[in-house]
């Protein structure tokens, strides 16, 4: 009568011979099976004449032995989920690569995505600091690894550091670590600084760069779209006003940063702009290396950055291998948000410079002593320490003129070689100042080739304009190319005194423009 899936319960069992009756046991079994099958109408309180919780029954030790189970599993995965995060770049299980932090991976230098300097600063700020002091950026952190490396952000009293785990020795249990940045921090409120007068600075900065700004940085960098936040730049010789795109939806979705690295890094881009830093060397670029102080003037954990910002960049000091700036990040009213005091950017080279075979030492030389110069005369190039003066008729036929110009260039090169040899013999370690006053490119290239035959000397080569300096700067193996006012040499009838130069080469038309002058002087 019951269905195929219905339970069948037996109410009576046959008693075995010589065994006591178990009818009460059968009755209790039936009630239990009814209840287990889903029938909840059995009144066990009436059946037992007491409530079930009033029974004091001794249970066997097995299989009812007690065992505790945690409400949440104690596993590494759960620990990572429950570990408190101070920020996207500061927690115990931090790992970083281009997949975990795609916005920061758009900071590409020479084809390699690396952590921007603003990222290391953000790691320390996420401790809740109001100021960072003596920040040293020691080594790059590559983001190109397929497996994200572990990054440790540690705070010991006021000292903080960022280091990555490069390798692990499973036998000894020791880890090899690399230090990327360190410094000190404080939680004391920063001293208020004067606001920035944007309108006045804008009037002082006459030069302008717009949409072509990032193309001017393409010689060493390839910033992604979310890091290209500089929209306009106004600059003068020693200061710049940079218009920066502030917080937007793309940055909001990338994480809850205190001072988003994409915005802070945009303040530093101006330091690599060649017309501003003045270094047009095609082989050189600059990256941040040190900051004396990073001051936060607002509580960035509670206050969101505005949609538009300005960065005021001021040139503070210059050294041959480093440049120092002061940078202020302000809103549209000139009120400070963050200040970077004494930011030092260090020079790097795309192609390594050749090793110096012989060290150069400082040797004092008379630079402004006017020696007694001999009267200009036509002399043999076998005497390189005196004046050589030749004239070439400009109206000769083209073949004769080309032959004469080539002959004069060879004479100049031979005289230059003998003069430098003489100077090197008197002082093998010195700086030789050579002024080349000519508009003939082939002659300058040939003379530089002659100078490159003396790698133990350091040459200061002076040319007449910036175009020539950029053209020949990369061809000098040991020395630099500078610009100087050589117009008087090219246009004057008489040869002026130039006691600053060791060697003076003139090859140009005379004032009548009917003859070429070929003059060579080596001064001691």
Using 70 as the pLDDT threshold, list the residues of the chain that sit under it. Answer: 1-5, 59-65, 71-74, 76-77, 169-173, 355-405, 426-429, 486-500, 508-524
Q: Give 83-93 pLDDT, tens digit per residue.
A: 778 999 999 88
For the chain, domains (ranges, CATH) are 1-63 (no CATH), 86-353 (3.10.129.110), 388-522 (3.40.1380)
How far apart, in whole angstroms, are the C-alpha atoms of residue 480 and residue 460? 5
Locate 374 and state its tokens: 């001999």
How far apart, in whole angstroms, are the C-alpha atoms of residue 455 and residue 476? 10
- DSSP string for residues in 266-333: HHHGGGG-HHHH----TTEEEEEEEEEEEEE-S-TTTSPPPSEEEEEEEEEEE-SSEEEEEEEEE-TT
Contact 315, 278 (CB under 8 A): no
Locate 89 and state its tokens: 């770049």
Instruction: Compute the residue count for the chain.
Output: 524
The active-site residue out of 107, 180, 273, 312 is 107
The active-site residue out of 265, 331, 502, 508 is 265
361 is an active site residue: no
Contact 264, 122 (CB under 8 A): yes
Q: Helix 441-451 and helix 398-426: axis angle, to 10°? A: 30
Contact 276, 240 (CB under 8 A): yes
74 is an active site residue: no
Contact 229, 262 (CB under 8 A): yes
Pairing of strands 239-245, 230-235: antiparallel
Locate 59 and state its tokens: 């249970």
Locate 211 and state its tokens: 């949409």
Q: What is the pTM of this model?
A: 0.58
Contact 417, 453 (CB under 8 A): yes
What are the distances in angstroms from CA 378 to CA 201, 381, 392, 415, 521? 58, 9, 13, 13, 12
- DSSP string for residues in 345-381: EEEEESSPPPPPSS--------SS----PPPP----T
| pLDDT recorded at residue 61 | 66
For residue 389, the surrounding DSSP H or E stretch is strand 388-393
How far apart, in whole angstroms, are the C-alpha atoms of residue 208 and residue 241? 10
How far apart, in whole angstroms, are the C-alpha atoms of residue 522 and residue 217? 42
3-state secondary structure of 140: coil
How far apart, in whole angstroms, are the C-alpha atoms of residue 412 and residue 410? 5
Burial 343-371 (b: 16+ CB within 10 A, else e): bbbebeeeeeeeeeeeeeeeeeeeeeeee
| pLDDT recorded at residue 401 | 58
Pairing of strands 431-438, 503-509: parallel
Q: Helix 117-125 and helix 261-268: axis angle, to 10°? A: 130
Q: Give 393-410 pLDDT, tens digit per residue.
A: 444 455 665 666 677 777
| pLDDT recorded at residue 358 | 59
What are the distances in angstroms from CA 25 to CA 10, 48, 106, 227? 12, 13, 78, 81
How far apart, in whole angstroms, are the C-alpha atoms of residue 435 and residue 484? 8
Mean pLDDT of all residues belonging to the chain: 81
| pLDDT recorded at residue 364 | 58
Report the candidate in 256, 266, 260 with the shortest Cα–Cα distance to residue 213: 266
| pLDDT recorded at residue 179 | 95
| pLDDT recorded at residue 377 | 36
| pLDDT recorded at residue 387 | 39
């Amino acid at each position: 009568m019951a269905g195929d899936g219905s339970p069948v319960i037996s109410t009576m069992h046959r008693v075995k011979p010589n065994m006591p009756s178990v009818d009460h046991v059968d009755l209790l079994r039936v009630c239990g099976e009814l209840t287990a099958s889903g029938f909840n109408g059995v009144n066990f309180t009436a059946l037992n004449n007491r409530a079930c919780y009033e029974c004091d029954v001794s249970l066997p030790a097995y299989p009812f032995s007690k065992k505790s189970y945690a409400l949440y599993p104690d596993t590494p995965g759960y620990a990572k989920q429950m570990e408190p995060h101070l920020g996207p770049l500061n927690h115990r299980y931090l790992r970083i690569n281009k997949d975990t932090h795609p916005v920061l991976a758009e900071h590409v230098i020479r084809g390699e995505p690396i952590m921007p300097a603003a990222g290391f600063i953000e790691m320390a700020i996420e401790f809740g600091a109001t100021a960072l002091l003596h920040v040293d950026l020691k080594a790059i952190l590559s983001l190109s690894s397929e497996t994200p490396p572990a990054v440790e952000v540690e705070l010991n009293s006021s000292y903080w550091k960022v280091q990555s785990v490069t390798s692990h020795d499973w036998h000894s249990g020791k880890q090899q670590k690399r230090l990327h940045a360190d410094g000190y921090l404080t939680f004391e409120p920063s001293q208020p600084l004067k606001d920035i007068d944007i309108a006045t600075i804008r009037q002082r900065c006459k030069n302008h760069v717009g949409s072509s700004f990032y193309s001017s940085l393409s010689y060493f960098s390839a910033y992604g779209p979310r890091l290209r936040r500089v929209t306009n730049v106004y600059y003068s010789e020693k200061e710049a006003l940079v218009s920066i795109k502030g917080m937007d939806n793309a940055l909001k979705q990338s994480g809850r940063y205190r001072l988003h690295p994409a915005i802070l890094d945009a303040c530093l881009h101006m330091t690599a702009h060649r017309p501003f830093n003045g270094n047009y060397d095609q082989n050189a670029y600059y990256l941040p290396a040190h900051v004396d102080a990073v001051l936060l003037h607002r509580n960035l954990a509670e206050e969101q950055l505005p949609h538009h910002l300005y960065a005021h960049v001021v040139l503070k000091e210059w050294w041959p291998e480093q440049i120092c700036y002061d940078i202020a990040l302000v809103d549209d009213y000139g009120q400070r948000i963050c200040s970077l005091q004494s930011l030092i950017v260090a020079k790097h080279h795309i192609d390594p410079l050749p090793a110096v075979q012989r060290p150069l030492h400082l040797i004092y030389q008379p630079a402004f002593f006017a020696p007694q110069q001999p009267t200009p005369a036509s002399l043999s190039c076998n005497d390189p320490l005196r004046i050589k003066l030749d004239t070439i008729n400009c109206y000769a036929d083209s073949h004769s003129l080309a032959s004469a110009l080539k002959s004069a260039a060879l004479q100049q090169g031979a005289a230059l070689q003998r003069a430098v040899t003489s100077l090197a013999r008197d002082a093998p370690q010195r700086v030789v100042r050579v002024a080349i006053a000519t508009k003939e490119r082939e002659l300058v290239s040939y003379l530089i080739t002659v100078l490159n035959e003396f790698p133990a000397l350091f040459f200061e080569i002076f040319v007449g304009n910036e175009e020539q300096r950029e053209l020949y700067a990369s061809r000098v193996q040991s020395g630099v190319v500078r610009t100087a006012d050589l117009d008087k040499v090219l246009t004057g009838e008489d040869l002026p005194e130039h006691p600053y130069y060791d060697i003076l080469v003139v090859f140009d038309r005379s004032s009548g423009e009917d003859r070429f002058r070929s003059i060579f002087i080596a001064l001691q």
